[in-house]
Amino acid sequence: MGKYDTYVEQCTAHFKALLEEQLEREDRMEADDEKKDFANLDHIVIGFCGGDGIGPVITAESRRLVEFLLKDDIASGKVELKDIDGLTIENRLAVGKAIPDDVLAELKTCDVIMKGPTTTPTGGTMESANVAMRRELDLYANVRPTKVPSEDIDWIFFRENTEGEYVLGSKGVEVPDKLAFDFKVTTKAGTERICRAAFEYAKNNGKDYVAIVTKANIMKKTDGNFTKIAHEVAKDYPDIKAEDWFIDIMTANLVNPARRSQFQVFVMPNLYGDIITDEAAQIQGGVGTAGSGNLGDKYCMFEAIHGSAPRMIEEGRGKYANPCSMFKASEMMLRHIGYIEKADKLAKALEICNDTERKYVITGRDGGATCEEFGNYVMETVSSL
């Protein structure tokens, strides 16, 4: 017996189980072709799920905004708003689950969900609620737009959202004080559907360039397959240029004024998308300015891309939290469920409130506008359009 035999056996058995689980997941994806047409539902349920830290403050504000914008269809019963409580770090730790069962059941009664940020414990085995929700509701396309009109920047990122580095992120193995392994998984069906989402978006929105961003020179199997599959999908879109980029140089090019305005649509594996969309959000003015759509074929979830800022609550500054990320997420949600005109108006109002007029400015502190004041300002501005 070698001195590591027990670990080798344990880890091999662990890997076998993961491999079987992932093969089954891929089979399920391939077999499933049910798709909801979110823009043409007769009845639509929008759930609001506050989360942790400043989450409940900014989510409540986005609920007020959505209620205001959709008041007629809410009155007629076409749209139903629902509050979902219980996705808090305290509850999650108490039941030892990233999403408590009763909360998950409630989420599944909605068509679309507006979610505030949730706190993710570092280390340990508790999975991020975000990651769990994306998996449980199969929200495979994380769509993150970045716009800086003055710099001619109009980007949209399609980040694969259910696999890659994340799907087994809490299921790595470790030989204590020796080594640790995590796993990254790229499936054919999982890659095909995110790439198709990116190319379809390009086709339907007058874009003719999709950048496929990987590190396929190093991650030869997972990223190698990602780019190979992306190019296969690209063959169905002959008018769109599909080009390979490595994540490192793409990260540099996003801050290269000579190159960056040429980019339009990006598609990439999960972790690269996580990192580069924070960079993009910073270029736009900070993570507080960015909304994010998590799109699946049966459910969709829209959220802020920033964290729960627990310090703001600890320091009693919760009411000064900036709701703009949730407002952007609301705009994306409205667009996705077919309220294009209302979404356009909201986008215009946000531009006026944040960039051109700035009658109320959020600073995150006493002296700046409160979340509620800013919400009122946005609603008044929408009404004036």
234 binds, among ligand IPM, Mg ion, none (CB under 5 to 8 A by kind): none
Give whichever of 129 and 371 is closer to ligand IPM, judged by the CB atom: 129
CB of 305 to ligand IPM, least distance (A): 5
* Rounded CA separation 183/170 (Å): 9
Report the distance separating Cα 358 and Cα 52, nearest Å.
Answer: 28
* Choice between 265 and 281, CB closer to ligand IPM: 281
Give the one residue of 128, 251, 253, 282 binding ligand IPM; rule: CB under 6 A: 128
Q: From the list 44, 113, 131, 168, which residue makes contact with ligand IPM (rule: CB under 6 A)?
A: 131
Stretch of residues binding ligand IPM (CB under 6 A), selected from 32-40, 85-93, 126-134, 325-333:
126-134
249 token code pair: 């140089």
Between 127 and 274, name the residue whose CB sits nearer to Mg ion. 274
> Is the Cβ of residue 120 or residue 170 nearer to ligand IPM in the bound state?
120
- Between residues 131 and 343, which has the closer beta carbon with respect to Mg ion? 131
| Closer of 272 and 320 to ligand IPM (Cβ) | 272
The span from the CA of 222 to the CA of 230, in Å, is 12
At its nearest, how many Å lie between ligand IPM and the CB of residue 121?
11
Q: What are phi and psi of 293, to 5 degrees?
A: -110, 135
Least separation in angstroms between CB 316 and ligand IPM: 24
Residues numbered 240 to 279 that lie near ligand IPM (CB under 6 A) are 274
Residue 96: strand, helix, or coil: coil
Rank residues 142 and 381 by Cβ distance to Mg ion and give the closer one.
142
Supply the Cα-derived Rg of the chain in whole angstroms. 21
Least gap, CB of 126 to ligand IPM (angstroms): 12
DSSP 224-243: HHHHHHHHHHHTT-TTSEEE
Q: Which does 376 bind (CB under 5 to 8 A by kind): ligand IPM, Mg ion, none?
A: none
Chosen residue from 59, 130, 146, 325 binding ligand IPM by CB under 6 A: 130
Q: Which amino acid is at 95?
A: V
| Among 52, 351, 330, 18, CA closest to 185 | 18
Residue 346 beta carbon to ligand IPM: minimum distance, rounded to whole angstroms:
22
- Give the dihedral sign, CA 295/325/66/133: positive
Of the two residues 197 and 304, which places its CB atom closer to Mg ion in the complex?
304
Helices (H) and strands (E) in the chain, counts: 14, 12
Binders of Mg ion in range 272-291 (CB under 5 A): 274
CB of 304 to ligand IPM, least distance (A): 9
CB 69 within 8 A of CB 346: yes
Give alpha helix (H) positions in the chain.
5-31, 55-69, 71-75, 89-95, 101-107, 129-136, 188-204, 222-234, 247-253, 270-284, 310-314, 324-336, 340-351, 371-384
Judge whether 384 and 359 are in contact, CB under 8 Å. Answer: no
Contact flags string 273-312 toward ligand IPM, x per CB under 6 A: -x------------------------------x-------
Answer for the pair 68, 74: CB distance below 8 angstroms, yes or no: no
Task: Return the range that interacts with ligand IPM (CB under 6 A); candidates 128-136, 230-238, 250-258, 335-343.
Answer: 128-136
In the complex, minimum distance from the CB of residue 287 to ligand IPM, in angstroms, rounded to a whole number: 9
Strand partners, 310: none
Neighbour-count burial of 163, counting CB atoms closer than 10 A to its CB (0-12 exposed, 13-18 middle, 19+ buried): buried
Angle between helices 371-384 and 55-69 (to 10 degrees): 20
Q: Could you tell me which stretch among 123-131, 147-155, 188-196, 361-369 binds ligand IPM (CB under 6 A)?
A: 123-131
- Write each residue from 246 to 275 as x if it is in contact with Mg ion (CB under 5 A), else as -, in one continuous string: ----------------------------x-
Q: How far is the CB of 18 from ligand IPM (least distance, A)?
A: 20
Look up residue 56 and give its two tokens: 């409940």
Residues that bind ligand IPM (CB under 6 A): 120, 128, 130-131, 274, 305
